[in-house]
Chains A and B, each alone.
Chain A
């Protein structure tokens, strides 16, 4: 790939083909028996799955089945949610992220997150990228410059904004804002990107651009994406996980390679959902 991606995390292993595993599956996250509750009310339980390195894993399922809750447990953003409690194990790069010895801030630099609504800070485009860098100790001017360039390049935003890095990030279009947010996460050189419906607040064209960009990032980053757009999940994901709610508690119904899950689902609920009969 010819764009200026950050080098450190390149573990592209072979070509990415739809439906095929992108690589020898190496677990990046091993999730075991995860449960999430809010104010003592269980909303997600008994989730066990492996997220493979360098692959795109799509999370699908009806609204309220706990996909976002699952995602926020992975970078422990759930710590910030009042009343939220997470149990179970999540092993990330060899360590359980719920261990007391884990530095949550370091974890979050390795596991970046993109939200549904683009949320650039109300600062200039440059400041948006500079702020997290400085926060994590990068002070060297030229290093900052080159990291900003790399990050904007890899989300395809450089050519669009290089002449107005000083203008407010809020003056960008929705799609550009979302790509800026992705660049802001990438600039910390994470190995994982969590994306919670990153395209659903965007118009179809911007959504297409972001989707294309996500595909380009696969291989270098492990990507976990929540989407309600089944066609999109099918187009971009290597693996898919289907969640469903039974008695108001979310459960993982089926997990596996994307194409088989869509084409020959093992579970009748999955079959019904992906064929659009329910949900």
Chain B
């Protein structure tokens, strides 16, 4: 009995150790190989010789532009839908259940399929071509289900007491939403937003046939622009001798994503504290 218990403990520790080991290997590899490349120059220079040398400045700019385009679309659509789901719909209605199923499916659609759709719809049907605009719109589609889900969860976690209080005072849902519910849920909503930005920053497959490959500085959002993740893919798969630069870019990308995700988790933690202090 004690024997079994002990070996189970050991197995659990070994599994945790394995996870840690794999993570350590991955991260140390990226840091060790990427760090020598990392410098102010690298961030601020144009890439040369297909990216083997030079920097990644236009690529960072394109990445940010793509993200910004996506945000402009995803914010009103995502927040609006989430608010409708959380505050304006009756939870048990058939319509809401169908909508939820649709959102679950959307959340599971492979990013390459979003890429195909963006290629056919934005680049082709709407005639936007390979452009930052097409890429941003495709990313927006991908981010929507994540943002809706986290925003809705944030609103659902707001105590019901205040909705009752507002209704008993004859206040409109709209006022209550603006003045009480949204401000209270804002850290959770922001955390969700950051999380979806993190996902979008890391995205490759949805962008290869939508925002294009060109590593020049984009002149407008109608220009093609290469995202950082696409750059890493291209350097490691298509450019012989691009490994070093690829690792440098990977380090930059990881740092970006880590910063975004850390701010998200700090915010959620802050929010949790706020909730707990209310309970006291």
* Contact flag (A, B; Cβ within 8 A): yes
Which A residues lie at the B interface, using CB under 8 A? 75, 77, 80, 82, 104-109, 112-113, 115, 117, 119-123, 127, 131-132, 135-136, 170, 181, 184-185, 188
What B residues does A120 contact at CB under 8 A?
Answer: 165
Contact A80 B179 (CB under 8 A): no
Given contacts A77-B167, A105-B171, A109-B170, 18 further A-B contacts (CB under 8 A): A77-B164, A80-B163, A80-B167, A82-B91, A82-B92, A104-B170, A107-B170, A108-B169, A109-B169, A112-B168, A112-B169, A113-B168, A120-B165, A121-B165, A121-B166, A121-B179, A127-B179, A170-B278
Contacts of B161 in A (CB 8 A): 115, 117, 119
Q: How far is A113 from B168 in the complex, measured between Cα atoms in Å?
A: 6
Distance of B180 from chain A, by nearest CB (Å): 5
Contact B179 A131 (CB under 8 A): yes
Q: Contact size class for B?
A: 20 to 34
Tell me if A188 and B169 are in contact (CB < 8 A).
yes
Closest chain B residue to A107 by CB distance? Answer: B170
Check A121–B180 contact: CB distance below 8 A: yes
- List residues of chain A with CB within 8 A of the CB of B166: 121
Chain B, residues 140-172, CB within 8 Å of chain A (1/0): the string is 000000000000000000010111111111111
The answer to whether A135 touches B92 (Cβ under 8 A) is no
Q: When the two chains form their complex, are residues B169 and A185 in contact, meaning their CB atoms are under 8 A apart?
A: yes
A119 and B170 contact, Cβ closer than 8 Å, known pairs A82-B92, A131-B175, A170-B278: no
* Of listed B91, B165, B168, residue having the most chain A CB within 10 A: B168
Minimum C-beta distance from A262 to chain B (A)? 30
Determine the residue in chain B with the shortest Cβ distance to A116: B161
A-contact 0/1 string along B81-95, CB 8 Å cutoff: 000000000111000
Q: How far is A135 from B176 in the complex, measured between Cα atoms in Å? A: 10
Interface residues of B in 175-232 (CB under 8 A from A): 175, 179-180, 183-184
**Shortest Cβ distance from residue B136 to the other chain A in the assembled complex, whole angstroms:** 35
The chain A residue sitting closest to B274, CB to CB, is A122
Q: Which residues of A contact B172 (CB under 8 A)?
A: 105, 135
A256–B140 alpha-carbon span in the complex (Å): 65
A203 shortest CB reach to chain B, Å: 14
Min C-beta distance of B97 to chain A, whole Å: 14
- How far, in whole Å, are A80 and B164 apart by their CA atoms in the complex? 8
A-B contacts counted at CB < 8 A amount to: 71
Q: Given A119-B161, A121-B179, A123-B180, A75 and B168 touching (CB < 8 A)?
A: yes
- Whether B164 pairs with A136 at a CB distance below 8 angstroms is no
Q: Which of A82, A115, A170 contacts B165 (CB 8 A)?
A: A115
Q: Nearest-CB distance from A6 to chain B (Å)?
A: 16
Q: How far is the CB of A56 from chain B (nearest CB, A)?
A: 19
Selected from B168, B175, B183, B184, the residue in CB contact (under 8 A) with A108 is B168
**Beyond A82-B90, A122-B184, A122-B278, is A135–B165 a contact (Cβ under 8 Å)?**
no
B: which residues have CB within 8 A of A? Answer: 90-92, 159, 161-172, 175, 179-180, 183-184, 277-278
Interface residues of A, dominant DSSP: helix
Task: For A170, list chain B residues within 8 Å (CB).
Answer: 277-278
Report the minimal beta-carbon distance from A106 to chain B, rounded to whole angstroms.
Answer: 7
From residue A133, how far is it (CB to closest CB) to chain B in Å? 10
Question: Which residue of the partner chain, among A117, A123, A135, contacts B170 with CB atoms under 8 Å?
Answer: A135
When the two chains form their complex, are residues A106 and B168 in contact, meaning their CB atoms are under 8 A apart? no
A-side contacts of B277, CB under 8 Å: 170
* A119 with B278, Cβ < 8 A, contacts A135-B170, A188-B170 known: no
Once the chains bind, are B165 and A119 in contact (CB under 8 Å)? yes
**Across the interface, do B165 and A136 meet the contact criterion of CB distance under 8 Å?**
no
Q: A135 touches which one: B162, B163, B171, B183 (CB < 8 A)? A: B171
Q: What residues of chain B lie closer than 8 Å to A119, measured between beta carbons?
A: 159, 161-162, 164-165
Contacts of B183 in A (CB 8 A): 122
Question: What separation, in Å, do the CA atoms of A80 and B162 have in the docked complex?
Answer: 13
In the assembly, what is the distance between CA of A188 and CA of B170, in Å? 10
User: In the complex the two chains form, what is the Cα distance from A13 to B164 in whole Å?
Assistant: 33
Write out the residue numbers on chain A whose beta carbons fall within 8 Å of the beta carbon of B171: 105, 131-132, 135
A112 surroundings in chain B (CB, below 8 A): 168-169
Interchain residue pairs A-B with the least CB separation, the first 8:
A108-B170, A119-B161, A105-B170, A113-B168, A132-B169, A109-B170, A119-B165, A135-B171
A-B pairs with beta carbons under 8 Å apart, 15 shown: A82-B90, A112-B168, A113-B168, A119-B159, A119-B161, A119-B165, A121-B166, A121-B180, A122-B180, A135-B171, A135-B172, A170-B278, A181-B165, A185-B169, A188-B169
Q: Across the interface, which residues of B come within 8 angstroms of A122, CB to CB?
A: 162, 180, 183-184, 278
Complex CA gap A107/B179 in Å reads 22
Q: How far is the CB of A127 from chain B (nearest CB, A)?
A: 8
Residues of A within 8 A of B159 (CB): 119
User: A115's closest neighbor in chain B, by CB?
Assistant: B164
Nearest B residue to A130, CB-CB = B179
